[in-house]
């Protein structure tokens, strides 16, 4: 049997520790700030409901004096309140041994106390991944837990931590398989162990962001070299090294204690080509999602970001806002001052927006002078949650205010007054549950702004019976 329960992924949150103080101190001795200790099941239910815990609770550790008081109904109540919360029972080994199968089935897992700091860390940090659960479980009366996954295979030696190159970009995109280089050393790389090209391709395709360390593992596996790693500089290292060059630029130095120099160079070339491939695909990915002129997200990116934001909003029950706007009289600027001036306005508008919005918000250009901001930042420096409309309004106002004060050299002295924008804000979920409806509402409100004399941003909930599409 398995103690694991499929879980929806969620962000890091708090651990709720429930039990009488003495029992808690005995079984879960900790002072971690992300562990919220409460005495009773009532408190635990209240905390779970009222949101007095500022971060979402992802794990409940139940440490009762009498486990039998944790009835099926009571545990089910926790799950009904939060379907993705993980409920773990903490008990002393002697107590755990006496618990029956029926009792154990109520929980996502059993931990025998007292918990070590590491066990608690895994409970606190590892709740996102189902695979982390068995590591902290003791199953005295149960069948052995499921065996660990065998795919992808792992190399016998882990790569050294310094091998990670921080200057590698974060995104990746799928390359066409036929362009993957197959350098000479790769022939025995695929022939010997399970680790091979397919694993590297997976790293790139699945955006796992760990191509370099994976490639180093593969090299280590194939060559049996000691301490194979990539160094930024030679430093005190006296062993053989080989430069890794990408587009003629030095990426780093491949080194290994006992490598043959010629073979090391061959592997460095092989590694460079994989890294080049990864980099090219990241650039392609970026180009596919980015507006060439302004660097804002393009329409494709907008739809993807909106879908992700809506999914996240649904999961966390957190509203978000969408602002659509265009630049007032942009056509006049464009016609009177030329396309270069128009381009400058567009670029500066995006630059200004990015300076004003929060880190997790998205700025997109979805038309000629039409922009959208997705206010998706869940924990921005301003208020979060339903109250974050206030901060959205503040950002919008600040943007309006600052764009009026902007100066554009290419407009010269003859520019017709200050630049202004007209826009509308739609709120998810109040204004709609899909992208098109939200866009429609934001567009309608932008129209209200235009008709009311421009230089205005309109926001608010839907007007009854007169704004639906």
Partner 1 sequence: MSQHDESVRCVVLGQPDRDRADAIDEVQQRTTCELTLTEDPVVAFANVCMALQAQAARATWGLAKADPPLLLVVQPDHWSDYDKLLNAMGMYAPHVPVHLWQEGRLDLLPVKVDESEPHTSPPSMTISRADTPIEPPEITAEEIEMLLTTETPEP
Is the backbone of residue 208 left (phi > 0), alpha (psi -120 to 50) or beta? Answer: alpha
Could you tell me where the DSSP H helices lie in 317-367?
330-356
Q: Is 7 in the site for partner 1 (CB under 8 A)?
A: no
d(CA 290, CA 284): 10
Which of 3, 48, 204, 372 touches partner 1 (CB under 8 A)? 48
Q: Which stretch binds partner 1 (CB under 8 A): 44-52, 57-65, 96-104, 196-204?
A: 44-52
Is the backbone of residue 43 left (phi > 0), alpha (psi -120 to 50) or beta? Answer: alpha
- Minimum separation from the CB atom of position 372 to partner 1 (A): 12
- Minimum separation from the CB atom of position 304 to partner 1 (A): 9
- Minimum separation from the CB atom of position 421 to partner 1 (A): 8
- List the interface residues with partner 1, window 256-315 (CB under 8 A): 286, 289-290, 295-298, 301, 305
Give the binding-site size for partner 1 (rule: CB under 8 A): 65
Q: Is 24 in the site for partner 1 (CB under 8 A)?
A: no
Q: Which is nearer to partner 1, 50 or 151 (CB)?
A: 50
Torsion angle defined by CA atoms of residues 111, 113, 117 and 121, in that order, rounded to the nearest 10 degrees? 20
Q: Is 249 in the site for partner 1 (CB under 8 A)?
A: no
Q: Which is nearer to partner 1, 22 or 261 (CB)?
A: 22
Cα atoms found within 13 Å of the Cα of residue 294, Cβ hemisphere only: 27
Q: Which stretch binds partner 1 (CB under 8 A): 26-34, 126-134, 152-160, 380-388?
A: 380-388
d(CA 32, CA 52): 17
Q: Which is nearer to partner 1, 191 or 359 (CB)?
A: 359
- Total Cβ atoms within 10 A of residue 374: 25
Give φ, ψ of 25 to 5 degrees: -60, -35
Q: Is 344 in the site for partner 1 (CB under 8 A)?
A: no
**Contacts for 181 with CB less than 8 Å, ≥ 6 apart:** 270, 273, 274, 277
Residue with tokens 């974060």: 170
Angle between helices 197-205 and 261-289 (to 10 degrees): 30
Q: Which stretch binds partner 1 (CB under 8 A): 25-33, 193-201, 239-247, 391-399?
A: 391-399
Q: Which is nearer to partner 1, 276 or 286 (CB)?
A: 286
Q: Which is nearer to partner 1, 224 or 452 (CB)?
A: 452
Which of 49, 116, 174, 192 touches partner 1 (CB under 8 A)? 49
Strand partners, 290: 297
Q: Which stretch binds partner 1 (CB under 8 A): 59-67, 91-99, 196-204, 358-366?
A: 358-366
d(CA 15, CA 399): 39
Q: Which stretch binds partner 1 (CB under 8 A): 41-49, 111-119, 121-129, 238-246?
A: 41-49
d(CA 381, CA 217): 40
- Minimum separation from the CB atom of position 253 to partner 1 (A): 26
DSSP letter (8 states) at residue 65: S
Q: Is 323 in the site for partner 1 (CB under 8 A)?
A: no
d(CA 453, CA 64): 65
Q: Which is nearer to partner 1, 43 or 202 (CB)?
A: 43
Q: Which is nearer to partner 1, 227 or 285 (CB)?
A: 285
d(CA 383, CA 393): 12
Which of 142, 347, 352, 448 touches partner 1 (CB under 8 A)? 448
Q: Which is nearer to partner 1, 132 or 285 (CB)?
A: 285
- Minimum separation from the CB atom of position 360 to partner 1 (A): 9
- List the interface residues with partner 1, window 393-412 (CB under 8 A): 393-394, 396-398, 400-401, 404
The Cα diameter of the chain in Å comes to 87
Residue 48: which of 88, 15, 3, 6 has the closest Cα? Answer: 15
Could you give the C-alpha distances from 456 to 31, 356, 449, in angstroms and in order?
Answer: 51, 17, 5
Q: Which is nearer to partner 1, 86 or 441 (CB)?
A: 441
**Contacts for 451 with CB less than 8 Å, ≥ 6 apart:** none
Which of 50, 94, 151, 465 touches partner 1 (CB under 8 A)? 50
- List the interface residues with partner 1, window 214-243 (CB under 8 A): none
**Contacts for 242 with CB less than 8 Å, ≥ 6 apart:** 253, 254, 255, 261, 264, 265, 267, 268
Q: Is 450 in the site for partner 1 (CB under 8 A)?
A: no
Residue with tokens 């955006």: 207
Residue 372: which of 430, 302, 317, 438 has the closest Cα? Answer: 302
Which of 317, 331, 339, 451 touches partner 1 (CB under 8 A)? 317
Q: Is 468 in the site for partner 1 (CB under 8 A)?
A: no
Q: Which residues bind partner 1 (CB under 8 A)?
A: 40-43, 45-50, 52, 71, 73-74, 77-78, 80-81, 286, 289-290, 295-298, 301, 305, 317, 319, 354-355, 358-359, 362-364, 381-382, 386-387, 389, 393-394, 396-398, 400-401, 404, 420, 427, 429-430, 448-449, 452-453, 455-461, 463
């Amino acid at each position: 049997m398995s103690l694991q329960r499929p879980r929806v992924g969620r962000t890091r949150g708090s651990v709720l520790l429930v039990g009488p103080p003495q029992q808690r101190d005995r079984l879960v001795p900790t002072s971690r700030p992300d562990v919220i200790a409460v005495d009773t099941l009532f408190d635990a239910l209240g905390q779970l409901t009222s949101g007095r815990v500022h971060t979402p609770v992802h794990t409940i550790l139940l440490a009762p004096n009498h486990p039998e008081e944790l009835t099926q109904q009571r545990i089910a109540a926790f799950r009904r309140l939060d379907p993705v919360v993980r409920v773990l029972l903490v008990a002393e080994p002697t107590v755990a041994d006496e618990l029956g199968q029926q009792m154990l089935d109520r929980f996502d897992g059993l931990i025998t106390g007292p918990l070590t700091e590491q066990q608690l860390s895994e409970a606190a940090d590892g709740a996102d991944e189902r695979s982390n659960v068995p590591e902290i479980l003791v199953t005295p009366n149960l069948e052995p837990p499921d065996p660990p996954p065998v795919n992808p295979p792992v190399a016998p030696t882990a790569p050294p931590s310094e091998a990670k190159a921080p200057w590698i970009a974060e995104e990746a995109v799928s390359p066409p398989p036929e362009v993957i280089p197959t350098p000479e050393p790769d022939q025995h790389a695929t022939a010997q162990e399970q680790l091979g090209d397919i694993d590297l391709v997976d790293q790139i395709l699945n955006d796992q962001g760990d191509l370099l360390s994976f490639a180093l593992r593969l090299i280590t596996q194939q060559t049996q070299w000691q301490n194979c790693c990539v160094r930024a500089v030679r430093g005190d290292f006296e062993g053989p090294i080989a430069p890794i060059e990408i587009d003629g630029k030095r990426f780093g130095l491949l080194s290994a204690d006992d490598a043959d120099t010629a073979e090391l160079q061959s592997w460095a070339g092989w590694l460079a080509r994989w890294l080049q491939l990864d980099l090219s695909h990241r650039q392609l990915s970026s180009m596919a999602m980015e507006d060439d002129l302004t660097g804002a997200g393009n329409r494709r990116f907008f739809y993807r970001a909106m879908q992700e934001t809506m999914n996240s909003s649904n999961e966390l029950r957190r509203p978000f806002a969408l602002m659509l706007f265009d630049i007032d009289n942009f056509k006049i600027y464009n016609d009177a001052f030329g396309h270069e001036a128009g381009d400058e306005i567009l670029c500066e508008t995006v630059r200004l927006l990015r300076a004003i919005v929060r880190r997790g918000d998205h700025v997109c250009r979805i038309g000629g002078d039409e922009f959208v901001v997705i206010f998706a930042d869940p924990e921005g420096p301003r208020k979060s949650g339903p109250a974050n409309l206030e901060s959205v309004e503040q950002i919008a106002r600040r943007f309006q205010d600052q764009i009026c004060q902007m100066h554009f050299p290419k407009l010269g002295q003859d520019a017709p007054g200050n630049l202004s924008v007209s826009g509308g804000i739609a709120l998810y979920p109040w204004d709609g549950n899909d992208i098109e409806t939200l866009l429609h509402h934001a567009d309608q409100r932008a129209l209200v702004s235009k008709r009311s004399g421009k230089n205005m941003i309109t926001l608010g909930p839907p007007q009854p019976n007169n704004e639906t599409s």
